[in-house]
Amino acid sequence: MVTLQAFQPLIDTVQGSLLLASPEDGRIYCANQLACILLASPHSELLKSSVYDFLPDKTEAYNICRELAGNNMIYNRGMQLSTGTGRLFDVQLSARRILLDQVPLLVVSFSDRTEAKVLGQLLDFERQLVERSLSIVKTLKEEGRQSEDEDKLTGVVGMHRLMSSAHAETSRAKRYGGSLSSLALELVNIPEMVPREDDGSAYSHLIRLAGSLCLQSSRDSDLVARRSANAFVILLPQTPIGGAHEMGRRLIKSLRQLTFLYQGAENQAAACIGISTLRPEETSPAPMLERLEDALAKARAGGANYIIELP
């Protein structure tokens, strides 16, 4: 089915979950990103599976095949699917047999009916955690609330937005079984900014370079925030602690290649890094961020180029 590869960019734009499969045995040829997420199965693994592997009731596969043989289409049927990890969830499913360039195909689309309910629970959950979230923000910021000027200087978001995203990503990780990690980077040889209003100082130059490096090293799904005057926090969805460590190693290596002039001398940039990850039993990002703060403190005590993990 090489010709179907051309349809991958197209089906990735579909808002719902979409699968293209064999009408005979349900073997999946193409799947969009949302289908991979809802079925909790990587794209490469999904292409080795059958549509019917995700039916918790195997007799349902026979009923679907018989109904498609008679009517050629199933529309908006309420039923259950099972993820790759065995979690059951309610869906509205449609399926139809088609001919594409004389090749028979089974087109399956489905949407998660529990989404609206979970979103409502998420809003209630976030309201309950507002007070604790504000406390964590205060702990993470050594120099208090960040100003708009600091955000303009670095080009990254503030900690309030990161905290909001951390709660949403935690709920998403718990729902779909993914990983969530966080990384804190602190520059250890910051020059004094004299005067502090001088955006062309060595201080501002180094901070801008560090912020730019963090952004360039992150993915579209990651979020980089300014933690304090000389530190950044990066939220890493769908990333285990090993991936976060590799990112930290690359950041330190890249920072060591940056230089800045201060009082007539050339200096090499250096940083230390703390890393933490969300534990399976945790339903809030707060414990992960508390461990992140502890990891960064230990790395700061070690000095330049230290990476400390507290899973």
Query: What total of structural domains would you count in the chain?
Result: 2
Among 55-69, 118-132, 215-229, name the one with the lowest average pLDDT.
118-132
Same domain membership, residue 40 and residue 170: no
In a domain, 120, yes or no: no
Q: Between 195 and 2, where is the model more confident?
A: 195
- The proportion of the chain whose per-residue pLDDT surpasses 70, expressed as a percent, equals 80
Same domain membership, residue 170 and residue 141: yes
What is the per-residue pLDDT for 224? 92
Chain Cα centroid distance, residue 6? 27
Answer whether residue 228 shows pLDDT above 50.
Answer: yes
In a domain, 123, yes or no: no
Same domain membership, residue 178 and residue 68: no
- Alpha-helical (H) ranges within the chain are 8-11, 33-38, 43-46, 58-71, 115-128, 130-140, 148-154, 159-176, 202-217, 241-255, 286-302
What is the per-residue pLDDT for 272? 94
In a domain, 121, yes or no: no
In a domain, 70, yes or no: yes
Q: In this structure, what CATH number is given to the domain that contains residue 233?
A: 3.30.70.270
Q: In this structure, what CATH number is given to the domain that contains residue 34?
A: 3.30.450.20
What does the pLDDT look like over 283-306, one tens digit per residue?
A: 999 999 999 999 999 999 998 889
Name the domain boundary from 79, 112, 145.
112
Name the domain boundary from 80, 112, 144.
112
In a domain, 209, yes or no: yes
What is the per-residue pLDDT for 258? 76
In a domain, 49, yes or no: yes
- The proportion of the chain whose per-residue pLDDT surpasses 90, expressed as a percent, equals 36
Structural domain span for residue 216: 132-310
Q: Give the mean pLDDT of the chain.
A: 83
Among residues 207, 244, 200, the alpha carbon closest in space to that of 222 is found at 244
Cα→Cα distances 102→5, 6, 60, 105, 159, Å: 16, 16, 28, 9, 55
Same domain membership, residue 241 and residue 137: yes
Same domain membership, residue 304 and residue 191: yes
Model confidence, pTM: 0.50
Same domain membership, residue 298 and residue 156: yes
Report residue 236's pLDDT band, with 50, 70 and 90 as the boundaries: very high
In a domain, 118, yes or no: no
Name the domain boundary from 112, 147, 179.
112
Rg of the chain's alpha carbons, rounded to an integer?
24
pLDDT average, residue stretch 45-62: 90
Same domain membership, residue 139 and residue 97: no
Same domain membership, residue 274 and residue 155: yes
Same domain membership, residue 211 and residue 140: yes
